[in-house]
Structure formats: structure tokens, C-alpha cells
Amino acid sequence: MMKKVYVFSLLMYVMTTHILSAAEDKRQLVKLPEMMQSHMMSNMRDHLVAINEILLNMENGELDKAAEIAESRLGMSSLESHGAAHMAGFMPQAMRQAGTTMHKAASRFALKLQEGDVLQAYRSLSAVTSACVACHAAYRIR
């Protein structure tokens, strides 16, 4: 009986520590000045809005509109309006790289849309969202 209780508590212990470590936030904190923080977060929200608008346009066969949104709001053309050069100075190298990967993937995606190849376009859209996910998994700003 004692042995059973012992095994049970050991099991509970292992399970709880496992759950706790899964919940632990391992993302690296990147400190940005307050103004830049809110600027970045509003850019981020616009990224998600843009992806949603792109998908809606794709659904309606409006590939050129989708391409325009992808290039101007997520692609290489969006860098200036996002103040990317200014922000980059505050970011670790790997985070900057993740940003560049995302912008380049978005520009490639816009090209696929312009070429009118929907299946290829969907494939290259997941390269964009994978870049979002990779950066989110590694960094936080607050």
C-alpha cells in the first residue's frame, strides 16, 4: 500500500513539474522604448488584418488586390512605413533576420499571386505565416 502511494505521488510530482515547465515562458525579452513598443504592436495587428484581407481577396479570385496588400503591408515595400530601419537597432540579430525572412517571403508570395498560380500562392503564404510563428516563439517585448 505504501509503495503504491509512493509511486502515485512520484507520478504526480513528475506530471506537475512537466506541466509547469511547459507553461514557463522561454521567449527572450527584447526591451524597446515605450513609443516603439506600441508602434510595433499596432504594426503586428495590421499584419494579421492584412493576412485576413489577403485570404478574403483570394477567396473572391481577386489575386491582384491580394498581391497589392501582401507587397505593400507585409512585403519588402512595407519596410519604410513600418520604420523598420529605426527599430532594427533595438533588436537582436536573429530577430532582425526573422523579420527580413518574413518580409522577403511576403514579397515572393505577392509575385506568385501576380502570376495567378493560386496553389503556389497558398504554398508561399505558409512561408510567411511560418516566419510569424518562428519569431513569436522566440521573442517578446513585454
Q: What is the pattern of x (binds ligand HEC, CB under 6 A) and - over residues 14-43?
A: ---------------------------x--
Q: Is residue 43 within 8 Å of 98, Cβ to Cβ?
A: no
Contact between 95 and ligand HEC per CB under 6 A: yes
Q: Is residue 40 within 8 Å of 34, Cβ to Cβ?
A: no
Question: CA angle, corner 123, sides to 122 and 127, nearest 5?
Answer: 110
Q: Please, which residue, 3 or 93, has the CB nearer to ligand HEC?
A: 93
Give phi and psi for 29, each to the nearest 5: -85, 125
Contact between 141 and ligand HEC per CB under 6 A: yes
Q: Is residue 110 within 8 Å of 75, Cβ to Cβ?
A: yes
Contact between 66 and ligand HEC per CB under 6 A: no
The residues binding ligand HEC (CB under 6 A) are 41, 44-45, 47-48, 51, 74, 95, 98-99, 102, 128, 131-132, 135-136, 139-142
